[in-house]
Structure 1
Amino acid sequence: MTFFYACTPDQPSAPTLNVLKNDITIAAVGNSLTAGFQSSGLMEDFQMNSYPYLIAQQMDNSKFEQPIIGAPGIGSPAGMTPMYLDQDGNITQDSLLVDPIFLLKNALLPRPYDNLGIPGADLYDLLNTIDGSGGNPFFDMILRNPTLLNTTQLQQVALLQPTVLLLWAGNNDVLGAALDGGDLDQITSQSDFDTRMESILTQLQNDLPKTVIIMANIPYVTDIPYINTLDGVFLGGIPMVFDETLQPVDFSGGTYLPLVTSETTVEHITLVGLGAYQQGLGIPDSAYMVDNLGLGQGQAAQLEAGMIAAGLIPTGLPLDGSMTLTSAEASTIKDAVDGFNQTIASLAGTYSVATIDANALLTELNVNGIDGATGKFVMVDPATTAFSLDGVHPNNAGYAIVANAFIGKINPALQLETLIPEVDISSKLGQYLPPSPKMEIGKVINNVRILFSRKNVR
């Protein structure tokens, strides 16, 4: 991405303190979840539903500023738009035909943005990163350095001196491991996480002594549709050949065929695996059934013919390990989240910071739903899903749920005479209707994990 200030003759002036004059002001730092990222991208329509913006709206704060990105938006990977549903219900993504510089509508704002969430940022980035030299263009667009004096997210929010600071970070210290099918090297070590999170809170409290900080913990990254949509295809802990309703196929009298996977003890198949399955990977052909399942040639040929007639593509080729999570990998990822959340809880007590239990919130969404919204993938539940097309990030309804959780902590923390009202979640449902998404997933789902991969970094 071209560094956009090189093309802009008028530069924002250096920030000053106390630029916001409202009695109650709000700011936010974090990652893609704070930015309002949806469907593998960022654009104005999504940002108007980021949880910090929704909260500001509920507070009647008209001066809340975000780095507004005009249509068609900026997607992941670089050079792409966000995902969208075409007129036939296909999840698709286009090439970005304009320099992203021209999409940032308020680049000349002479102070830091109130929403400083940066897609792809981890704890290290909050403390240290000032630009996109590491390959993530969102750092350049949101931090706007060197004009804003080569400052980090934390340093910029200190210039704002908000009444309330929303902090949701740490997700990306483990997310990439799950999205890449159990690449455990992408998990930040517990000791590094502890040190960085404490440094973040120390710096914030030193720089913002009068600010009320509200912090959220980390959901289980295996509880998102990108990871758990195909959990229903498992029987007895083994993934089976399944149909378009994502249910195991009973070929005859309780006869099921196991999927072909390169890993054993598979516990989850990712959405990338679903896309590969729809192209034939993981589906046993007659030769595989004879050689590996002990079936006779006649029975194997009959089963293969039946699968072909049903629209499946038997290849006998395995789903790669990058498309699946084993039970050991899932357990290690869960343990990491538990360890990180223990640190967050401990530090929240030490620093007297109110905490949102985002982990429990996502569990509740998956088990019982919240205010009519569910945690299912859009192909399964387009009418009431709280997730966007990428299966990782919330949609409008999902961010409204998050906003309400923060509002539930802000109200008692500020002891307001007039409480901040909750967002009406019902008004956010049905974002993807019409048309209904097809029960197919294209190759674009492979792009979801690129921004959040931490391979070969730090």
Structure 2
Amino acid sequence: MKRLKQLSKLLLVTAVVFAGCDGQESSLIGDRIENNPLPNQPNYTAGDADFSNYIAIGNSLTAGLMDGALYTNGQIHAFPAILAGQLELVGGGNFLQPDVNSSNGFNASLSDPQQGLILGRTELDTNIPGPVPTQGEFPIPAFNGDRLNVNNLGVPGIKVADLFSSDLQNNNALGLYYSRFATNPGSSTIIQDAVAKNPTFFSLWIGNNDVLGYALSGGLDENMITTQGDFQNSLGNAIGALVQTGATGVVLNIPPLVTLPFFRAIPYNRIELDQATADQINAGLTPVNQAMMALTQAPINHDPEDIARRTMEYSAGNNPILVIDEELEDLGPKYDMLLGAGAINQQQRDALVPYEQSRPLTAGELVLLTAGSVLGTEADGDDAVADTPIGVVVPLGFDVTDQSLNGDKYYLTLAEQTNIVTARATFNAVISGVIDATNQQAGADVVHLVDVNPFMADILGLTSTEAQQLALTAAGQAAADGVTGKSVRGFNLQPDFSPGGIFSTDAVHPNPRGHAIVANEIIKKLNEVYDANIPEVDVLNYPSVIIAQ
């Protein structure tokens, strides 16, 4: 018992000692914090917004298609996924994407499954330099996740009206993408699925394809551009359905499409020659030019200005690409008149067939990236003798095997560019108008415009005059400083698909860094309109294009 009492006294003394030390330690820590304060912890907040259930609706930009294919790494780096990661810091919930579970994906524009050609994403071959495809995967692997809780409803290829279409089973957009995660493939619609998820916040980036398809076709058919009425009706219904759920959201407008590297990577005067080669080609084309000049004489009296436009003459340096222009008058019947008059023989007449509707491109016309794989190759397929290079001796768009014409798909004339610029400006005005009308009807600002024009004008290095010609928004014109690139931590990002660019190798869609920039633009808007404090992402922490090995 005596020993127990002694032990109790010892424990009591020990407790008093430790208590005294604890108080002394607390005092010392307090003094140190006072003299060396800890850095302030970020006070991230959602402000007036509720990001707990974020839904992203849109086309390939929202889905994360890049490098010509929808593949897992592209989906991970799509702007909605990047944005959702930042929203988690302010109460945002889980963001489920319909993962395609494929490292290369499927490149619908380059593949032909019926012929056994299945290609995937493209990579940058620095030796060309240009994109080269990888081996693809088709059919696209199924999505085995929870369809009812998918947050990213981006579907590559869709137009605004497709948001309401339940009859897309014959459309590649649904057959390849939407059907993978649709709640009821063949009967449900994208908007129905979005509304059924009861979003608290949404992003909507749609409308590019309502004019982009026309541009990517080389201006083939103006009917490919959605009418203003149809665009406005579909967009108004889509935004109306989303806000009726009680959600707030952001809508992104359409960037200046003709400035995409798809239309800028190949200059109109791509044909580079030395003087000796130019002289040799000119000698070979002399009979063609002479025959064209003969058409200006009686009795044919063809317009000399038109002939001057068609005449081919090469010199040392860069020369315009020779193309088929199906809008030109077909000179075939008039060449037949020369043959009938004995001015040329049958062999000479046969040699004129490729030049019945041909001309060199002029400054300001845009060449599509798809022309890159054809230019300079031998039209007759005989690479042993370079006598029929396409774009030089044989017009780009003329098929020597069957004498068919498809030149219009390789370039955009000034008139076609005007159609694109006008349609885009019209659609952007509609987007702004629908947002204003929606907010007015709601009696509050429930939808906010994220204008992509300013940062595009900035990185493109547009001048104020160019910005006006491209019909950029007022903010976009104000941001046009004429200095190409965007400086990020001392690194100058470029508007191309180079290793230092913001575009993927398909030259249309952003790469991960480009998507990070878009996410930051949205975050800036959210911080502004919701009095939020959401951190932006470090753009340079995201990868650029993939270099082919």
TM-score by length of 2: 0.61
Q: Say yes or no: does 1:377 pair with 2:496.
A: yes
Matched, 1:67 2:69: no
Match for residue 76 of structure 1 among 93, 104, 108: 108
Structure 2 counterpart of 1:377, one-letter code: D
Is the contact between residue 127 and residue 152 of structure 1 (CA under 8 Å) also seen in structure 2?
yes
- For residues 28-427 of structure 1, the aligned pairs below 5 Å read 28-60=56-88, 61=92, 63-71=94-102, 72-77=104-109, 79=113, 80-85=118-123, 91-94=131-134, 96-97=136-137, 99-100=139-140, 103-104=141-142, 106-129=143-166, 131-136=168-173, 137-146=176-185, 150-183=187-220, 184-206=222-244, 208-209=245-246, 211-230=247-266, 233-234=267-268, 239=269, 241-242=271-272, 257-263=319-325, 267-279=365-377, 314-319=392-397, 320-352=407-439, 353-367=447-461, 368-370=484-486, 371=488, 372=491, 374-378=493-497, 382-416=498-532, 419-427=533-541
| Contact preservation (8 Å) 1:225, 1:375 | no
Gaps of 5+ in 1: 1-21, 244-250, 282-306, 436-458
Contact 1:176 1:187 in 2 (8 A): yes
Residue identity matched to 1:410: L
**CA 1:366–1:150 in 2, change beyond 3 Å: closer, same or farther?**
same
CA distance in 1, matches of 2:152, 2:194: 9
Give distance in 1, aligned partners of 2:314 and 2:408.
30
State the alpha-carbon separation in 2 of the partners of residues 312 and 130 from structure 1.
42
1:389 Cα deviation (Å)? Answer: 1.0
1:133 CA drift (Å)? 2.7
Contact 1:112-1:160 within 8 A present in 2 as well: yes
SS at match of 1:151: coil
- Letter aligned with residue 253 of structure 2: N
Q: Provide closer, same or farther for how the CA distance between residues 23 and 195 of structure 1 changes in structure 2, counting only shifts above 3 A.
A: closer
Deviations 1:216-236 (A, max 9, x none): 001121111111222xx35xx
Contact 1:217-1:341 within 8 A present in 2 as well: yes
The one-letter code matched in structure 1 to 2:120 is P
Is the CA contact (8 Å cut-off) linking 2:62 and 2:152 kept in structure 1? yes
Structure 1 position 257, deviation (Å): 3.3
Q: Partner amino acid for 1:326?
A: T
Contact kept? 1:33, 1:393, Cα under 8 Å: yes
Deviation at 1:40, TM superposition (A): 1.1
Query: Is residue 85–residue 92 contact of structure 1 (8 Å, CA) maintained in 2?
Result: yes
Q: Contact conserved, 1:34 with 1:118, CA < 8 A, in 2?
A: yes
Q: How much identity, in percent, do the aligned residues show?
A: 25
| 1:42 aligned counterpart, secondary structure | coil
Which residue type is aligned with residue 221 of structure 1? L
After superposition, the Cα gap between the structure-2 partners of 1:204 and 1:422, relative to the gap in structure 1 and judged at 3 Å, is: same
Secondary structure class of the residue paired with 1:166: strand
Q: Of the two structures, which has the highest relative contact order with CA contacts closer than 8 Å and spacing of 6 or more?
A: 1
Matched-pair contact (CA < 8 Å) for 1:383–1:429 = no
TM-score (norm 1): 0.72
SS in 1 for 2:232: helix
- Structure with bigger helix share is 2
Question: Contact conserved, 1:123 with 1:169, CA < 8 A, in 2?
Answer: yes
Report the alpha carbon displacement of residue 259 of structure 1 after superposing the two structures with TM. 2.2
| Helix, strand or coil at the partner of 2:251 | strand
Greater Rg over alpha carbons, structure: 2
Q: Deviations over 1:43-71 (max 9, x none)?
A: 11111101010011112246100001112
Q: Between Structure 1 and Structure 2, how many residues are aligned?
A: 364
Structure 2 residue identity aligned to 1:92:
V
Deviation at 1:312, TM superposition (A): 9.4
For the Cα contact (< 8 Å) 2:205–2:253, is it kept in 1? yes
What per-residue deviation string (whole Å, max 9, x for no partner) do you get for residues 161-201 of structure 1?
22210000011100011101012221001121122111212
Q: 1:273 Cα deviation (Å)?
A: 1.7
C-alpha displacement of 1:112: 3.9
Distance (whole Å) between structure 1 residues aligned to residue 171 and residue 234 of structure 2? 19
Q: Is the 8 A contact 2:55 2:151 kept in 1?
A: yes
